[in-house]
C-alpha cells in the first residue's frame, strides 16, 4: 500500500464523514521589507470557525474525492520536492517536516494541535483582507489528515468589496445582499499526514 493509499484509507475510515474547517490569515511582519524572504516575511495565524453539519459533510467529500483521485497510481506518481525540477502536473511532490517549511510546521504542530486556544471568526470583515488559505481536517484512528487550499481574494465576498447582489428565483429578480459570503472550490494544494507534506499544486507553493 502506498502512502497516498494509506491516507485515503484513513479518510474513508472517518466515522462521522465530517471535517473541520480553519482559516489561515497572512500579514507582513512589522519591520519586514517586501524583498525579504517569504519564509521570514510573513506572519500566519490560524482561526477556527463554526460550521454546520451540512458544510462539514461537504468538506469531507472534497477531501475524500480529491485524495481518492491522486491516490490512483495510474494517474499520479510521488517524488521528492525540488524548487527546480520536473513540473509535470501528475506528480505529487513531498516535503519532510524537517525540511524548510517553517510556517506550515507551526500551523500543524502548534496551532492545530491546540485548536481550543485559537481565536474564532465572528465576522468575516475582520479577516477578509488577510485570508490566505483554508484548512480541511479530519481525524481517523488517532491520526490527523489536513489539506490546505490557498484562497484568492475574489472568493471572499463581503459588502465592502463592492456591490453584493443575489438572485431570487422565486421573485425572478436581483436583490442587494448584505450577507457575508465565501466560496470554496473542490481542489486542495497540500496534504499533511504523518509528518510529511504532499504538494499537489506546486504552482501555489
91, exposed or middle or buried, with CB in 10 Å at 0-12, 13-18, 19+?
Answer: middle
- What's residue 24's pLDDT? 96
- What's residue 10's pLDDT? 95
60-109 pLDDT, tens digit each: 999 999 999 888 765 555 666 555 455 555 667 776 665 555 667 889 88
Nearest in space to 67 (alpha carbons), one of 20, 140, 10: 10
Query: Three-state SS string across 34-67, please?
Result: CCCCHHHHEEEEEEECCCCHHHHHHHHHHHHHHH
Q: pLDDT tens, position by position, for the chain (205 residues)?
A: 788 899 999 999 999 999 999 999 999 888 888 778 776 788 899 999 999 999 999 999 999 999 998 887 655 556 665 554 555 556 677 766 655 556 678 898 889 999 999 999 999 889 988 999 999 999 998 899 999 999 987 778 775 556 778 788 888 888 887 778 888 999 999 999 988 888 887 676 5
- What's residue 55's pLDDT? 96
The answer for residues whose C-beta is within 8 angstroms of residue 15's C-beta and 6 or more apart is none
- What's residue 84's pLDDT? 45
Amino acid at each position: 500500500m502506498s502512502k497516498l493509499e494509506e491516507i485515503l484509507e484513513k479518510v474513508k475510515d472517518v466515522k462521522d464523514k465530517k471535517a473541520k474547517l480553519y482559516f489561515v490569515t497572512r500579514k507582513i511582519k512589522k519591520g519586514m521589507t517586501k524583498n525579504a524572504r517569504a519564509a521570514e516575511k510573513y506572519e500566519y495565524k490560524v482561526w477556527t470557525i463554526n460550521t454546520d453539519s451540512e458544510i462539514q459533510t461537504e468538506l469531507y467529500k472534497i477531501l475524500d474525492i480529491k485524495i481518492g483521485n491522486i491516490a490512483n497510481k495510474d494517474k499520479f506518481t510521488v517524488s521528492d520536492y525540488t524548487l527546480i525540477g520536473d513540473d509535470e502536473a501528475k506528480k505529487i511532490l513531498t516535503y519532510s517536516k524537517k525540511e524548510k517549511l517553517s510556517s506550515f510546521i507551526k500551523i500543524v504542530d502548534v496551532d492545530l494541535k491546540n485548536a481550543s486556544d485559537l481565536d474564532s471568526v465572528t465576522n468575516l470583515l475582520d479577516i477578509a483582507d488577510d485570508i490566505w488559505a483554508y484548512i480541511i481536517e479530519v481525524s481517523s484512528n488517532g491520526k490527523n489528515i489536513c489539506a490546505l487550499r490557498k484562497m484568492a481574494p475574489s472568493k471572499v465576498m463581503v459588502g465592502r468589496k463592492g456591490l453584493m447582489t443575489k438572485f431570487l428565483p422565486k421573485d425572478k429578480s436581483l436583490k442587494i445582499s448584505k450577507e457575508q459570503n465565501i466560496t470554496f472550490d473542490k481542489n486542495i494544494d497540500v496534504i499533511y499526514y504523518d509528518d510529511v507534506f504532499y504538494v499537489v499544486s506546486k504552482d501555489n507553493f
